Amino acid sequence: MTLDDALLQLLQLLKSRNYSFVTTTPATHAHSIMRGSSSANARDIIGWSRYFSVNQADPDIVALLRAADMLDVRENGPAKSKVRVSSLGDLLFLHSAYPTDDHDSVFFGPDSYRFASFLAGEMPRLNARRRIVDIGAGAGVGGMVASQLSPGAQITLTDINPQAIRFSRINAAFNGMDVEAIQTDALDGVPGAIDCIIANPPYIADGAHRAYRDGGGAHGGRLSLAWAKAAAERLVTGGALLLYTGSAIVDGEDRLKKALLEALSDFDVTYRELDPDVFGEELERADYADVERIAVVGLVAIKR
């Protein structure tokens, strides 16, 4: 059994036992961890990333985590899973354990659910799409939701993080979806014509420069703008960009919106706030001193 086979079997085992887990914000997760738990069930181990006693846990889960080299066991102490599994509708997604401090962490959280909802609301309004590329796919949420919404479309997932490509391939195989996964920066390694690009870029300015979180300069908006510009160059006429991201609002002004509209001057664009206030804790940082709020926004652009 390969390491990836063990992770695939872990997903299959959890599905057979009707596992479900909704991943929360890191702040909410931290509160849950502080409360503690006396159990060692699947949700504690694979969802909440709690330390647990191997002798008290489900032996099948422990065996598969060992086989996947995803069990961290302290000497003469408790164990901890190196991976998490979250549910989104009838789909399960493998991703990194809490806390996601490593540079190659594969993130899944509330933005994943909002991104999926954004796609579900917008994609049915588009004409049928032949090729959909999910930039910075992470665990593969966007591409797999798009696959459900666009039967028959070719789905390509890209990510600069090799661990994200690995996990997204496993997730796609488990969820019964045929996708192409390419390790590349944005669209650099994607050949051929593209008529739909979807993206949920990181949008927080992260001092640790973790790939899943760091949106770069302009209060985290630089990467969103760069991906929109890359999409503008690659989309065919009639092609669609669906961008879910965050924007730092300064003195009541959405500067990212202005920059995106300028970059997409050859597109018909709709843009709206999906959530007016997220990640308020970031405003305590010095580099957000002039930011009054961080809004989640959704953009749909059709190339003329």
Q: Is 150 found in the same domain as 255?
A: yes
Q: Is 133 found in the same domain as 210?
A: yes
Out of 62-76, 142-156, 162-176, 202-216, pick the least confident.
202-216
Q: Please count the residues of the chain.
A: 304
Q: Has residue 124 been placed in a domain? A: yes
Nearest to 83 by CA among 125, 74, 69, 303: 69
Burial class (CB in 10 A: 0-12, 13-18, 19+), 304: exposed
| Spatial distance between the Cα atoms of 210 and 119, rounded to a whole number of angstroms | 25
Q: How many domains does the chain have?
A: 2
Q: Is 285 found in the same domain as 162?
A: yes
Residue-level pLDDT at 39: 79
Handedness of CA 198, 216, 166, 89 (dihedral sign): negative
Q: Has residue 44 been placed in a domain? A: yes
Instruction: List Cα–Cα distances, 270 to 146, 198, 242, 247, in angstroms.
Output: 19, 15, 10, 15
Q: Has residue 172 been placed in a domain? A: yes
Parallel, antiparallel, or unpaired: how do β-strands 179-183 and 154-159 relate? parallel
Q: Is the pLDDT of residue 36 over 80?
A: no
264-277 average pLDDT score: 98
Query: CA triplet 258, 263, 264: central angle to 5 degrees?
Result: 100
With pLDDT > 90 as the criterion, what percentage of the chain qualifies? 88
Parallel, antiparallel, or unpaired: how do β-strands 235-250 and 253-254 relate? antiparallel
Q: Is the pLDDT of residue 38 over 70?
A: no
Residue 3 parent element (H or E): helix 3-16
Q: Which amino acid is at 179?
A: V
Q: Is 116 found in the same domain as 10?
A: no
Q: What is the DSSP letter of 264?
A: T
Q: Has residue 299 been placed in a domain? A: yes
Per-residue pLDDT tens over the stretch 224-250: 999 999 999 999 999 999 999 999 999
Q: Has residue 101 been placed in a domain? A: no
Domain boundaries, position 62? 3-96
Q: Has residue 102 been placed in a domain? A: no
Q: Is the pLDDT of residue 263 over 90?
A: yes
Q: Is 146 found in the same domain as 48?
A: no
